[in-house]
A and B are shown apart, each in its own frame.
Chain A
Amino acid sequence: MTAAAAPGPPAGWANLGMDIVSAGRVRAMIDEHGEVFLLRMLTERELADCHTVDGLDILAVCGRIAAKEAAFKTLRVADSILPWLDIEVRRAPGGWPLIELHGRAEALAARAGISGITVSISHDVDYAVAVGAPVPVA
Chain B
Amino acid sequence: MPANLQPVKDWILSRHPERTDIAPDLDLIENRLIDSLSFVEFVFLLEQASGRKIDMTALEVDHLRTLAVIEERFFTAAVR
A29 located at the interface, meaning its Cβ lies under 8 Å from any Cβ of chain B in the complex: yes
Q: How far is the CA of A128 from the CA of B56 in the complex (A)?
A: 25
Question: Of the candidates B37, B41, B44, B56, which one forms a contact with A81 in the assembled complex, judged by CB atoms under 8 Å apart?
Answer: B56
Q: Do B62 and A79 have beta carbons less than 8 Å apart?
A: yes
A25 located at the interface, meaning its Cβ lies under 8 Å from any Cβ of chain B in the complex: yes
Interface of A, helix, strand, loop or mixed by DSSP: helix
**Stretch of A3-11, A33-41, A90-98, A117-125 on the interface side:** A33-41
B66, chain A: closest CB distance, angstroms:
14
Q: For the complex, count residues of A whose C-beta is within 8 A of B.
A: 19
Interface of B, helix, strand, loop or mixed by DSSP: helix
Q: Which of A19, A21, A26, A79 has the most CB of B within 10 A?
A: A79
Q: Do A41 and B62 have beta carbons less than 8 Å apart?
A: no
Q: How far is the CA of A71 from the CA of B79 in the complex (A)?
A: 31
Q: How far is the CA of A26 from the CA of B37 in the complex (A)?
A: 9
Q: Do A81 and B62 have beta carbons less than 8 Å apart?
A: no
B59, chain A: closest CB distance, angstroms:
5
Q: How far is the CA of A13 from the CA of B19 in the complex (A)?
A: 41
Q: Do B41 and A80 have beta carbons less than 8 Å apart?
A: no
Q: Do B60 and A33 have beta carbons less than 8 Å apart?
A: no
A69 located at the interface, meaning its Cβ lies under 8 Å from any Cβ of chain B in the complex: yes
Chain A residues positioned under 8 Å from B59 (CB to CB): 81
User: Which 3 pairs of residues, A with B, have the shortest CB-CB distance?
Assistant: A79-B61, A81-B59, A40-B40
Contact sample, A vs B, 9 pairs, CB 8 Å cutoff: A25-B37, A37-B44, A40-B44, A81-B39, A81-B59, A81-B60, A84-B40, A103-B57, A104-B57
